[in-house]
Structure 1
């Protein structure tokens, strides 16, 4: 299927005119003009092939969150777990293709903030609100990787070193990985990240199958595996498991930034299909097989914690590149947005100047300092991350792309024919689903925070206590 088949026809010639919000190119007819405009620049941004874009996508999706799928399956049951995984994967694939079609129609889009402005009738307020959501979402993901980096070092070393020190070490390493100015330069590290994380997941599945018993095994109490949710599963537990799967798949917030650095964005579906097929296979197998061998009562998230000590350390060690690189990728995407706003039409934006590089390094460093503070100051960070995901992913995973579809087919076009009508109804459903996730996810996260406080499960801010699994 070609890009032209995806590209909607519209009688309104105004839809062919692209308004430039920040890059100063004026009216642009196609991406070739944008690539040509960079020809004389020292730093060229639109250089990613679809293979390099695929490497970035694989590094984003083949991540540590895969090891939380067995926990979701243990709550939902084996069959609902598989069905939810397939349904969410298909939905994210579809909405990502809608996003791509929207970017093709608006070549000047640099990131999701531009899309937010276009969807809300060019409103500068919508642009700024989307920007705040964009930066907070990415920074919280960076903070997660700060904590996970400390968790990994604590797990592997069993050292008395203060966890804050391990967090700081993670921040420093991620800062240097984040320094390249273009995503094409990061894509090579993305390949290493995806491959090593794939090895970690495979080892975790193998070790779960060959170990005599899961970690924490109580003699006589064999692992319990159920096809459907166990009796007594609460709404909060079920929603938490569903949202855990959903939030792992929802990564569309970075896709406009990836597409904006492609030489030929028409090739984006090749990368998207490749990573989606891999996702479905790996996520489903990891969730189902590890749940089958570990069972309900011994399940820990991430599932590395359900392995015996030696197996846990071996498998977890292969996640090091992913923990460092994926945090750096989100820092790079955020820094790119801020850098482009500062140097809208300045030579520093695309030249190797001292001011340009100093500003870039300062922005990158600031994102990591903020991520470090967030990671250390919030004792209920995991639940806080779920709350932020509920507030943001409902927009960036569902609502935006339902709206984008309705924008692509204005007026009577959205009802032209049976298939188009059904597709329109589906996109209206996606918007409603996003609103539901906003409400249900927020409620679930807040209730989880309340319940955990009642059980005294939270530590203190800037704690030296080990967070090893």
Structure 2
């Protein structure tokens, strides 16, 4: 690294309250002026045995990680902030954008747009808290390490976080298997396919995604992610244009009339539908579960906020325009989730086809994050971690295979798009989007105070109140949100609006 990390100075009184404007700027936008506070947890045993007391700073740990990769065949800390931005774009500029028109139709256009901005701001804030935590603990490789640290080093916290981490990623993989099968069914709707077509298409997508998951570094994945984000942007741009130029939305009838757009929720909107729509918006923004893994492969993690700000601004613009415009032209009567189903057949197939790279890549990205979680713990300090060995590559492939088999099964058990989004959001985003980072903030401020670092009283009070509110919001997601998601699934099955599990019927849109 060209510049040394700026770690906590010995004379903390001289740096109270981030006294320099440059330091305040760095705390929001990153760079070499970042002040790195003290740890909340002791060094793990595997690190402490290799470091002297003078080498236990964040700078020393990071520099040792970089030095350990010099000359190895497979290097992990290679991402610039631009490559990390590409990973973020590929994660967030995704298929879930096409659920925004449906969410706006349920919530009303005005509340929908307001919630879009509010959720984006909350996710940006909690992501900056997460980044600060990772700077203090550069050995962190994924959110499971953080979970154990946040809850006072308890082993149960690590296991609980690990289960949620793997399930969340596997659900996202399942979502992409499901939508991949939807795409293939949409494109071949008029063709006769022998056997159980939807299950067969699910198998095809699963195999393709397994192959796409094989690269072992995020530096390589970022190149694929850049292409994925570009194709996704083209896809949603075409869908938005097509929604405006088509004569009538798909499914139009004189009885239903012209598209009806409402500024506020229509009378009779149920709590379950409203919560499901809100969870759809939240799910699209909340992706903090992967951020520790991305930061862990940055050569200079102080630069991460640049990636974060670029992605957040793009998200707000793209999500709001795509959601608002498509909803305006399809209305409450004809909007679907994903919104491709509201387009004429030709328009639908053209715009949906540009989504193919994302359907494959994003599931691959989450599979790779899960595989890293298992692989790095299994082969820590082993030759298989940094070298091309049969055992290393065989294990990596085997881990990926298991995750994709489970993803395929989930895609056949919960075979509908919006409800699968809502379940994932309520069960997992409550923790990884809110609760963890509210607790992280409180823990970090506590050790800062113990170390003698003073903060402005009003700012400290307001910040503490905000983070307590974030924890409460996460608890609301977990309890009420999960109830609404499960009830929505039950209602869909009872109404007969979705196919059963492992259905052979086409799920094309």
Pairs within 5 Å for 1:409-448: 409-410=445-446, 412=449, 416-448=456-488
Q: Is the 8 A contact 2:183 2:508 kept in 1?
A: yes
Aligned residue among 192, 195, 204 for 1:160: 192
Partners of 1:22 and 1:82 in 2: how far apart? Answer: 47
Q: Does 2:99 align with 1:99?
A: no
| Residues 231 and 414 (structure 1), Cα distance of their counterparts in 2 relative to 1, 3 Å cut | farther
Instruction: Give secondary structure in 1 for the equivalent of 2:247.
Output: coil
Q: Does 2:336 align with 1:300?
A: yes
Pairs within 5 Å for 1:353-372: 353-372=389-408
After TM superposition, the structure 1 stretch with the greater mean CA deviation from structure 2, 154-163 or 225-234, is 154-163
Instruction: Give the equivalent residue in structure 1 for 2:321.
Output: 285
Q: Deviations over 1:29-74 (max 9, x none)?
A: 3223321221132211111111111111000000010010011111
Instruction: Give the equivalent residue in structure 2 for 1:206.
Output: 241
Pairs within 5 Å for 1:43-442: 43-158=74-189, 159-161=191-193, 162-219=197-254, 221-378=257-414, 383-410=419-446, 412=449, 416-442=456-482
| Ranges in structure 1 where 5+ consecutive residues have no aligned partner | none
Instruction: Give the equivalent residue in structure 1 for 2:69.
Output: 38
Partners of 2:438 and 2:163 in 1: how far apart? Answer: 21
Q: Is the 8 A contact 2:130 2:440 kept in 1?
A: yes
Q: 1:18: how far off?
A: 3.6
Q: 1:134: how far off?
A: 0.4
Q: 1:460: how far off?
A: 2.8
| Residues 127 and 101 (structure 1), Cα distance of their counterparts in 2 relative to 1, 3 Å cut | same
Instruction: Give secondary structure in 2 for the equivalent of 1:139.
Output: helix
Instruction: Give the equivalent residue in structure 2 for 1:452.
Output: 492
Q: Is the 8 A contact 2:338 2:417 kept in 1?
A: no
Q: Is the 8 A contact 1:54 1:272 kept in 2?
A: yes
Instruction: Give secondary structure in 2 for the equivalent of 1:393.
Output: helix
Pairwise CA RMSD: 2.0
Q: 1:237: how far off?
A: 1.3
Aligned residue among 19, 24, 33 for 2:44: 19
Instruction: Give secondary structure in 1 for the equivalent of 2:490.
Output: helix
Partners of 1:364 and 1:69 in 2: how far apart? Answer: 31
Partners of 2:48 and 2:264 in 1: how far apart? Answer: 52
Q: Is the 8 A contact 1:43 1:351 kept in 2?
A: yes
Partners of 2:134 and 2:45 in 1: how far apart? Answer: 13
Q: Deviations over 1:249-269 (max 9, x none)?
A: 110000000000000000100
| Residues 235 and 214 (structure 1), Cα distance of their counterparts in 2 relative to 1, 3 Å cut | same
Structure with the greater alpha carbon radius of gyration: 2
Partners of 1:414 and 1:359 in 2: how far apart? Answer: 49
Q: Is the 8 A contact 1:171 1:368 kept in 2?
A: yes
Q: 1:378: how far off?
A: 4.2
Q: Is the 8 A contact 2:295 2:304 kept in 1?
A: yes
Q: 1:446: how far off?
A: 1.9
Partners of 1:21 and 1:445 in 2: how far apart? Answer: 42
Q: Is the 8 A contact 1:17 1:29 kept in 2?
A: no
Partners of 2:492 and 2:119 in 1: how far apart? Answer: 28
Q: 1:416: how far off?
A: 4.5
Q: Deviations over 1:301-351 (max 9, x none)?
A: 111100010100000000000000000000000001111121122111111
Partners of 1:289 and 1:266 in 2: how far apart? Answer: 37
Q: 1:21: how far off?
A: 6.3
| Residues 104 and 8 (structure 1), Cα distance of their counterparts in 2 relative to 1, 3 Å cut | closer
After TM superposition, the structure 1 stretch with the greater mean CA deviation from structure 2, 458-467 or 119-128, is 458-467
TM-score, structure 2 length as denominator? 0.88
Q: 1:234: how far off?
A: 1.4
Q: Deviations over 1:421-451 (max 9, x none)?
A: 2111101100000001111111101221222
Instruction: Give secondary structure in 1 for the equivalent of 2:333.
Output: coil
After TM superposition, the structure 1 stretch with the greater mean CA deviation from structure 2, 322-331 or 213-222, is 213-222
Partners of 1:458 and 1:293 in 2: how far apart? Answer: 25
Partners of 1:186 and 1:270 in 2: how far apart? Answer: 19
